[in-house]
Amino acid sequence: MNENLMIEILKNQVVPALGCTEPGAVAYATARAKEILGKDIIKLNIYADKNIIKNGMNVGIPGTNEHGIIFAAALALVIGKSDYKLEVLKYVDNESIDKALEIVNSGIINLNLNNSIQGLYIKVEAIAENDSSCVIIRNSHTNIIHESKNNVVILDMPEGTKEVSEIKYEIKNYSIEDLISFTDNVSLEEIEFIQNGIDINMRIADAGLQEHTGVGLGNYFYKNAKDVFSMAKAYTAAASEARMSGYLLPVMSSAGSGNHGLVAIIPIAFVGNEQNISREKIIRAVTLSHLVTIFVKVHLGSLSPVCGCGVAAGVGCAAGLTYLMDGNSEQIKGSINNMIAGISGMLCDGAKLGCSYKLSISVDAAVDASEMALKNIFIPDDNGILGNTPEKTIINLAQVSNKGMNNTDNVILEVMLNRC
């Protein structure tokens, strides 16, 4: 076990994000293209894969009452700084909102679907009077593989290049047992940074409950909560509502998604604190949750037809909860299979307020999967797509999602674009 590599993966995949990561990634690419061009832009052409468009269509932009990719790109032209990556829009104010709306209304931004490409893809072409620039992001939200100005290449990295931003794929070389072993044995000092993510995500959960963001789902669950686990569900839903409605607080993401980060962190942290479990145990449990979430996502892909909050972060949460409750290795692995047996069919129909309900369902399922495993109740591995190891189950899930549901996103996006 290479502990240093595992810590690098965590630091690369557990990062702050302001708002939904899909419009955030487009804003990041736009900001970088603007900086390369260094002139006033008269036209901005955006080309994105179906998942980016699906996830960015209806989601709120932080600090505003606006939604969607085109507004995010317009705001990036006004205030975007690529150094902030997924927090690229964090200095939004009323003046910048007004300027961004003017840009949107001018019609200079064109959003185009690239339906021929598989996987996460964003291409931004910024055009000035006599100059142009181009930025391409591929496979993960901040992974810029190409930059050019006036067709002169500044950066060009082949997609297979193993640069830092793609270090996540190294986790495929390890087993779930390895991830558990790392979690057990790594020094607390090395994973202390995980606490920052706990603090960040609990802060937005508190804000969501106190300020009644969204449609009130978090408050509904909160008022009807009967135990610590249903309270954890309420906090997770409230955090997602705040984030999806554009509340101006960052979240700590996991495996490229802010909502994944909410599911991977909040239930474990809330339950641990309420049950007076040691801070160290909570940090270790959240660490395992992140690692399992990342492990699932590198098999599924950055964006997929299935809801990653359920089948990736939910799976990580189940494993983390089981670890938190002193489950042994077999019980942790069993919670993974239990979770996938129950929630593998949840579809992703884009980022929006309704995601908060899907997150609450994922937390419910993760709690059940963990509690069953802790009582040595395991869904048999000859059921459906389950394998005789959690690794095999995850690979089977990815095969169903990536091959069996290859056209699902096209149909979902078609329905969304032609909604009456």
Whether 218 maps to a domain, the answer reads yes
Question: Where does a domain end: 156, 191, 218?
Answer: 156
Mean predicted lDDT score pLDDT of the chain: 93
Does residue 200 share a domain with residue 142?
Answer: no
For the chain, the domain total comes to 2
| 333 in the same domain as 199 | yes
Distances (CA, A) of 396 to 306, 320, 341, 366, 386: 13, 22, 11, 19, 7
Q: Tell me what pLDDT residue 8 has.
A: 96
Coil vs helix vs strand at 218: helix
Whether 1 is covered by a domain: the verdict is: no
Spatial neighbors of 298 by CB under 8 A, at least 6 apart, are 168, 169, 171, 172, 255
Mean pLDDT of 126-149: 94
Q: How far apart are CA 227 and CA 218, in angstroms?
A: 15
pLDDT at residue number 35: 97
Q: Are residues 347 and 386 in the same domain?
A: yes
Task: Choose one of 101, 130, 156: the last residue of a domain.
Answer: 156
The CA distance from 298 to 169, in Å, is: 6
Q: In 190-278, which residue ranges form alpha helices assigned H by DSSP? A: 194-210, 217-223, 228-244, 258-274
Question: Residue 239: CB partners within 8 Å, gap ≥ 6?
Answer: 201, 204, 205, 208, 218, 251, 262, 266
In a domain, 6, yes or no: no
- Same domain? 311 vs 411: yes
pLDDT value at 408 more than 90:
no
pLDDT digits (tens, 9 = 90+) for 214-223: 899 999 999 9
CA 204 from chain centre, in angstroms, equals 16
Q: What is the mean pLDDT of residues 279-294?
A: 98
CATH number at residue 71: 3.30.1330
Per-residue pLDDT at 161 exceeds 80 = no
d(CA 32, CA 81): 7
Select from 44, 95, 100 the least CA-distant residue to 74.
Answer: 100
Domain contains 215: yes
Query: Letter for the amino acid at 1?
Result: M
Provide mean pLDDT across the span 115-131. 93
Q: Are residues 239 and 144 located together in one domain of the fold?
A: no
Whether 106 is covered by a domain: the verdict is yes
Structure token digits, residue 369:
């999967």
Considering the domain architecture, whether residues 116 and 192 belong to the same structural domain is answered as no
With 90 as the cut, is the pLDDT of residue 419 above it?
no
- Residue 137 is given by DSSP the state E
Tell me how far the alpha carbon of residue 184 is from its chain's centroid: 25
Beta-strand pair 43-48/109-113: parallel
Same domain, 149 and 199: no
pTM for the predicted model, two decimal places: 0.89
- Is the domain of 33 the same as that of 143? yes
Q: Are residues 257 and 387 in the same domain?
A: yes
Range of the domain at 225: 174-417
**Looking at the structure, do residues 140 and 178 belong to the same domain, yes or no?**
no
Instruction: Examine the pLDDT at 160 and tell me if it is beyond 80.
Output: no
**Final residue in a domain of this structure, among 123, 156, 189:** 156
Kindly state whether residue 266 falls inside one of the protein's structural domains: yes
First to last CA, the chain: 53
Note the pLDDT tens digit of each residue in 81-96: 999 998 999 999 999 9
Q: Give which of 310, 286, 284 is closest to 297, Cα–Cα.
A: 310
Is residue 219, in this structure, part of any structural domain at all? yes
Residues 65 and 210 in one domain: no
Residue 213 per-residue DSSP state: -
* Residue 115's pLDDT band (cuts 50, 70, 90): confident
**What's the pLDDT tens digit per position in 303-330?**
888 898 999 999 999 999 999 999 999 9
pLDDT at 412 over 90: no
pLDDT digit string, tens, across residues 36-85 = 999 999 999 999 999 999 989 888 899 999 999 999 999 999 999 999 99
- Quote the pLDDT of residue 159: 61
Q: Are residues 116 and 204 in the same domain?
A: no
Residue 403 is predicted with a pLDDT of 87
221 inside domain? yes
- 1 and 47 Cβ atoms separated by less than 8 Å: no
- Residue 280: pLDDT band (50, 70, 90) is very high
Q: Which region among 20-24, 200-204, 269-273, 376-380 has the lowest average model confidence (pLDDT)? A: 20-24
Q: Which of 95-99, 190-194, 298-302 has the lowest mean pLDDT?
A: 298-302
